[in-house]
Structure formats: structure tokens, C-alpha cells
Amino acid sequence: MAIQDIYPTALRLLGRPVLVVGGGPVAARRARGLLDAGARVTVVAPLACPALNDLSDAGLLSWQPRPYRSSDVDGAWFVQTATGDAGVDAQVAADAEAQRIWCVNASDHEASAAWTPAVAVVDDVKIAVNAGGDPRRAMALRDAVATALAAGDLPLRRHRASGTGSAAGAGTVALVGGGPGDTGLITVRGRRLLGQADVVVADRLGPRELLAELAPDVRVIEVGKTPGHHPVPQSEINRILVDEALAGHRVVRLKGGDPYVLGRGGEEAEFCRQHGVEVEVVPGVTSAVSVPAAAGIPVTHRGLAKGFSVVTGHEELSEVPARADHTVILLMGVGQLRDSAASLGRAGLPAGTPVGIVENGYLPNQRVTIGTLETIADQAEAAGVANPAVIVIGDVVRVSPFAPSHFKTADYSTTSPNVPRVPAR
């Protein structure tokens, strides 16, 4: 049988009688798949393997513990034979053919009237692969397609109502943490949901390159903020998410970093739930940890720091430990850097405490400036350091490969654009 002689289709067997002839592991796998499709399964075999016994004992199928009879196919909608005996399988197939019942003959795929493909399910998509009677090849192809779908590399987005889900009724909101900006650092779940979205509500930071990969009819609503400039207030962002979901759309709120790390994700999730909108939160790689790592700076390190604090406002510095062995991370703090350094100095942090600034983490124009609490404000001003940037204060900065050799003294400074980057793809 040539592959071009196959006419692919899908059977709806819900509530319909199906016959499985055979009691071994292959018959058990086929019976399980048929049960998953909602079929009423009868198994005919003198002996049954433990898996089939378990299904029978649970009342999920009917097992007739005897040899096959030609009358067993009467009334069946579909027949699967897997006895391991080519003669018996051929007889079952012939009896089914005489009654014009589709039959899969596991002993002879060339003579079989129907083939069972390798199957995988991703969301509401079922992938079925036939590969010229080569089951291992079919399984390998199936797995590759399923992996690509699950990772968001292939489109899963609905284009018409399917009777269930957001396309047919109320929509959903997914708060997706996009990570620090590199497209390779968004989670698989986040990438997948982005590929299913009808509407994307996007921040200024995060994996912006992925927006160019969206289908032309996906609407992108820009709500990005910059320091001191919030063109779309948070209350309006909340309203957009709810209104779009109530219109029946799958909405992705694409955020930089992690939605729950100083990203107002909690407020957005709460607002959605208050208005009856289903919301999912997908964690992301927070820039507070990942951007320092891009410059080779760990936020904790044995012998240097056991903990860290993440701060977004100058006034919060009075709440964090003023010790070089406790890492302080300032997000978007370039504008207040001089005041922040002075505050930490007055709190008791030594003037020679190392400080690193990482601008545009993981992007092509990433740059690192390293100094001390005493020198960093002047260095940043001279170098033209600007947000988006993450500032790391503490002894962990010494670990960076870009720290100068005389790093343990206070009379050093360096600015380096040559920072190793995690491969984007």
C-alpha cells in the first residue's frame, strides 16, 4: 500500500461500539486510546495482560475471555486486531471487510484497511502522523511537531470558534513574564501562549522581537512606561485587559521580567478576577537576577553574600541592610544613583563597596560599568549611563570577569561594552 493511497480522516467514536481482538500490550495501548476517544470497547482474547485486566476490573471495558468468533464484529463501528497471530488477525480483518467495517490489522499494515497513526495532543490540537508503515519514524515526527507546538514555534492560535474556549465565548488573560529581553529567555509556556493570542498588551521592555512574529491580524496594544512618563496609567491597562477578554479574545499581557516581581502583575490578576475573567500567571526570568548574571555577577555567592534585596525607589534604601555582604539591587535607579549611593554611605556602607551597572541587559548594546559606592555616580554621569539598567551594590560585583585586577582597592573604575551574552536562539 502506497502512502498516497491513504485518505487521512478522523473518527468520532464517542459512545460507539468498538472491538479489540487480542490481549497483549499492543491491544492494551489501542484499547486505552479508544477509551480516551469515548468508545465503548469490547476486548476478545483468551488471556489479558495486566494493563487490560486493570481496565476491565475498573469497568472501563468489557473483556470476553475466549477465542475470537466471526460474529464478534457484528454491530461494531471499528475493529482493532492485535493478537500477534497473523492468521487470526487476517480472519478478523476479512470478517470486518465483509461487513464494510474499518479494521486495523496490526499484523499486516500493507493489507490493513486502516492505519493507526502516531498521535499526540497539544491543547485542543491532535497530531496524527503516518509514515509509510514505519512506526518509529512516525513517532519521531509526531514528537518533533508536538514539541514545536508546545514551544510556540508553530501556530496554535484559533481562527474560528470551535465550540469551546475563548474563541466561542468569554476570553482569557495570561500575564506572561517575558524575561529580560532576550527572546531565548521567555519560558516555553509564555512563548506558547503568545502564539495563541488574539491581543497582546505589551510593555516597553521584554522580548520585543517576538511581536514581529505574530500573525498580521493579532492586535498589539502598547502600554509601555518610561521613568517619569506613564502614557497609559495602570487603571487603564487593567480596563483594557478585562474589556478585551470579555469581548471573547485571548489576551496576553507581555511584561518584562516576572509579572509578580515589581511588575504590578498582582494588581492586574486581581482586577481580572474581580470582573469574572479567567487569568493565568506565567512566571518569567526577573531582570533583578538575570541582568546581573549577564555581566557575570551573581546576586548571592558563598563567602560574599547570603541574601539580596531588590529596590525600585530611593526612599526604600533605609529598609535594607547596609552591608557589603548583603547585595542591594536597584531597578531603574540611574536617575537617583547619586542620592542612593549617599544614602547607603550614611547608613554605614563603606565607600569602597563595589557597584556594577548593567545597561540594556542581554541586548546587543548591553554595557557594564563597574566602580565603588564613592565613584559610581561620577562614572555613570561621565559614561552617559541610562535606563533601562540594573544596579548591583555589594561584594558580589567582585566576581564579575570585568572587574579590574585591583578590584579590592577603592581607586579603580571601568566601563566595558564587551559583555558575554547568552545566545538569543
Exposure class string for 103-138: b at 16+ Cβ within 10 A, else e: bbbbbebeebebbbbbebebeeeebebbbeeeeeeb
Residue 149: in which H helix or E strand, if any?
helix 135-150
CB 248 within 8 A of CB 160: no
265: helix, strand or coil: helix
Q: Where are the alpha helices (DSSP H) in 208-367?
A: 234-246, 265-274, 287-294, 337-346
Which residue, chain included where needed, has cell 498521535?
119
User: Which residues, other chains included, contact 179 with Cβ-Cβ below 8 Å and sequence gap of 6+?
Assistant: 185, 186, 187, 206, 207, 256, 257, 284, 285, 287, 290
Q: Assess whether 255 carries a catalytic annotation.
A: no
Among the listed residues 298, 368, 380, the one whose alpha carbon sits nearest the alpha carbon of residue 339:
380
Is residue 325 classed as helix, strand or coil in its secondary structure? Answer: coil
Task: Mention every residue, 6+ apart, whose C-beta is less than 8 A from residue 29.
Answer: 51
Q: Is residue 320 classed exposed, middle or buried when 0-12, 13-18 and 19+ CB atoms within 10 A define those classes?
A: buried
Q: Let me know if 134 is a catalytic residue.
A: no
Cis before 388? omega within 30: yes
Q: How far apart are CA 18 and CA 20, in angstroms?
A: 7
Measured between alpha carbons, how far is 94 from 11 in angstroms, rounded to an integer?
A: 21
State the DSSP H helix or E strand holding residue 42, giving kind and residue range, or none if neither: strand 40-44
Alpha-carbon dihedral angle through residues 395, 398, 404, 410, given to the nearest 10 degrees? 10
Catalytic option among 225, 243, 325, 339: 225
Which three cell numbers, joined as nine digits, stand for 82?
492485535
Catalytic residue among 72, 182, 198, 203: 203
Task: Return the active site residues.
Answer: 203, 225
